Structure 1
Amino acid sequence: MNRLFVIFLAALLFVSCQPKPAQQPEKSAEQLAQDEKMEWWREARFGMFIHWGLYADPAGEWKGERVNGISEWIMARAEIPVKEYEKLAKNFNPEKYDAEAWVKLAKYAGMKYIVITSKHHDGFAMFHSKASKYNIVDATPFNRDPLKELAEECKKQGIRLGFYYSQAQDWHEPGGTYWNIEQGKPHWDPDLKREPLMNYINGKAVPQVKEILENYGGLDILWWDTPRGMTEEAAKALQAVTNDYPNLITNNRLYRPWPGDFQTPEQHVPPTGLDYDWEVCMTMNTSWGYKWYDENWKSTEELIKMLVDIASKGGNLLLNVGPTATGEFPKASIERLKEMGHWMQQNGESIYGTSASPFFKLPWGRCTTKKEKGITKLYLHVFDWPKDGLLKVPGLEGKVRDIYLLANPKQHFAWKFEEGDLHVHAPSVIFDEINTVIVVKIRGDINVVSNKPRLKEGSILLPADFADIYNPGYGEHAVLKGSGSESVIANWVDKRARLEWIFDAEPGKYRMEALMWSAEKAELAVKLGEQKVDIEIDSTGEDYELVNLGQIEIGESGEKSISLQSAGNTAGNKQLMYLELIKL
Structure 2
Amino acid sequence: MRFDYDIAPVTGDSKWFTEARFGMYIHWGLYALGARHEWLKGREFMTNEQYHKYFKRFDPDLYDPELWAQLAADAGMKYFVVTAKHHEGFCLWDTKQTDYNVMHTPAGRDLLRPMLDAFRARDIRAGLYYSLLDWHHPHYTVDVKHPLRYNQAFLDAQREKDWQRYIDFMFAQTRELLTEYGKIDVMFLDFSIPPLEGFPGKGAQEWQSERFIRMVRELQPQIMLNDRLGIPGDITTPEQYQPRGWIRVGGRRVIWEACHTFSGSWGYYRDEESWKSVDTLVKMLIDTVAKGGNLLLNVGPTGRGEIDERAVDRLRGIGEWMKRHSRSIYGCTAAPDGLAAPGDCRFTYNPDTHRLYLHIFSWPFKNLHLPGFSGKVEYAQLLNDASEIRMVEGEQEMTMEAGAFNEGRPADTLTLQLPVKQPNVTVPVIELFLR
What band does the TM-score fall into relative to the shorter chain?
0.7 to 0.9
Q: 1:391 to 1:196 in 2, by over 3 A?
A: same
Matches within 5 A, 1:29-48: 31=9, 34=11, 37-48=13-24
Partner of residue 235, structure 1: 209
Task: Return the TM-score normalized by structure 1.
Answer: 0.65
In the alignment, is the contact (CA less than 8 A) between 1:178 and 1:187 conserved in 2? no
In the alignment, is the contact (CA less than 8 A) between 2:74 and 2:316 conserved in 1? yes
In 1, the alpha carbon distance for the partners of 2:19 and 2:4 equals 24
Partner of residue 282, structure 1: 260
- Whether 1:267 aligns to 2:240 is yes
CA shift, 1:378, in A, is: 1.1
CA shift, 1:416, in A, is: 2.0
Partner of residue 113, structure 1: 79
In 1, the alpha carbon distance for the partners of 2:184 and 2:300 equals 21
In the alignment, is the contact (CA less than 8 A) between 1:263 and 1:279 conserved in 2? yes
CA shift, 1:395, in A, is: 2.5
Q: 1:22 to 1:111 in 2, by over 3 A?
A: closer
Partner SS for 1:261 = coil
In the alignment, is the contact (CA less than 8 A) between 1:398 and 1:442 conserved in 2? no
Partner of residue 434, structure 2: 442
Partner of residue 132, structure 1: 98
- Larger Rg over CA atoms: 1
CA shift, 1:177, in A, is: 4.6
In the alignment, is the contact (CA less than 8 A) between 1:81 and 1:189 conserved in 2? no
- Whether 1:53 aligns to 2:29 is yes
In 2, the alpha carbon distance for the partners of 1:146 and 1:357 equals 41
Partner SS for 1:368 = strand
Match of 1:331 among 288, 301, 309: 309
Q: 1:186 to 1:428 in 2, by over 3 A?
A: closer
Partner of residue 381, structure 2: 404
Partner of residue 217, structure 1: 182
Q: 1:429 to 1:24 in 2, by over 3 A?
A: closer
Q: 1:181 to 1:156 in 2, by over 3 A?
A: closer
Q: 1:394 to 1:264 in 2, by over 3 A?
A: same
- List runs of 5+ in structure 2 lacking aligned partners: 194-201, 248-252, 395-408
- List runs of 5+ in structure 1 lacking aligned partners: 1-19, 61-70, 444-584
In the alignment, is the contact (CA less than 8 A) between 2:349 and 2:357 conserved in 1? yes
Matches within 5 A, 1:259-408: 259-274=232-247, 275-358=253-336, 359-372=339-352, 376-387=354-365, 389-408=366-385
In the alignment, is the contact (CA less than 8 A) between 2:26 and 2:301 conserved in 1? yes
Instruction: Give identity over the alignment, percent.
Output: 37
1:139-193 deviations in Å (ceiling 9; x for gaps)? 20101111100111122111101010011x11112332555069xx946373583
Partner SS for 2:14 = helix
In 1, the alpha carbon distance for the partners of 2:109 and 2:152 equals 30
Partner SS for 1:424 = strand
- Whether 1:84 aligns to 2:84 is no
Q: 1:80 to 1:339 in 2, by over 3 A?
A: same
In 2, the alpha carbon distance for the partners of 1:143 and 1:21 equals 55
In the alignment, is the contact (CA less than 8 A) between 1:91 and 1:140 conserved in 2? yes
Amino acid at match of 1:148: R
Matches within 5 A, 1:541-556: none
Let me know the Cα RMSD of the aligned residues. 2.4
In the alignment, is the contact (CA less than 8 A) between 2:97 and 2:172 conserved in 1? yes
Partner of residue 249, structure 1: 224
In 2, the alpha carbon distance for the partners of 1:435 and 1:276 equals 27
In 1, the alpha carbon distance for the partners of 2:136 and 2:384 equals 51
CA shift, 1:208, in A, is: 0.6
In 1, the alpha carbon distance for the partners of 2:312 and 2:73 equals 12
Partner of residue 151, structure 2: 188
Amino acid at match of 1:45: R
In the alignment, is the contact (CA less than 8 A) between 2:65 and 2:115 conserved in 1? yes
Report 1 or 2 for greater relative contact order, CA contacts < 8 Å, sequence distance ≥ 6.
2
In 2, the alpha carbon distance for the partners of 1:221 and 1:191 equals 35
Partner SS for 1:409 = coil
In 2, the alpha carbon distance for the partners of 1:347 and 1:273 equals 22
Amino acid at match of 2:280: E
Partner SS for 1:57 = helix
Q: 1:310 to 1:23 in 2, by over 3 A?
A: closer
In 2, the alpha carbon distance for the partners of 1:237 and 1:189 equals 34
Partner SS for 2:434 = strand
In 2, the alpha carbon distance for the partners of 1:141 and 1:21 equals 58
Partner SS for 2:376 = strand
Partner SS for 1:41 = helix
Q: 1:343 to 1:177 in 2, by over 3 A?
A: farther
In 2, the alpha carbon distance for the partners of 1:121 and 1:187 equals 18
Q: 1:189 to 1:96 in 2, by over 3 A?
A: farther
In 1, the alpha carbon distance for the partners of 2:141 and 2:321 equals 43
Q: 1:279 to 1:179 in 2, by over 3 A?
A: farther
In 1, the alpha carbon distance for the partners of 2:431 and 2:176 equals 46
Q: 1:140 to 1:181 in 2, by over 3 A?
A: closer
- Whether 1:93 aligns to 2:48 is no
Partner SS for 2:34 = coil
Task: Return the TM-score normalized by structure 2.
Answer: 0.86
In 2, the alpha carbon distance for the partners of 1:160 and 1:328 equals 21
Amino acid at match of 2:226: N
Matches within 5 A, 1:502-521: none
Question: Paired residues, what number?
Answer: 399
Partner SS for 2:82 = strand
Partner SS for 2:386 = strand
1:53-97 deviations in Å (ceiling 9; x for gaps)? 00010111xxxxxxxxxx111111111111221232111000111
In the alignment, is the contact (CA less than 8 A) between 1:310 and 1:317 conserved in 2? yes
- Whether 1:161 aligns to 2:126 is yes
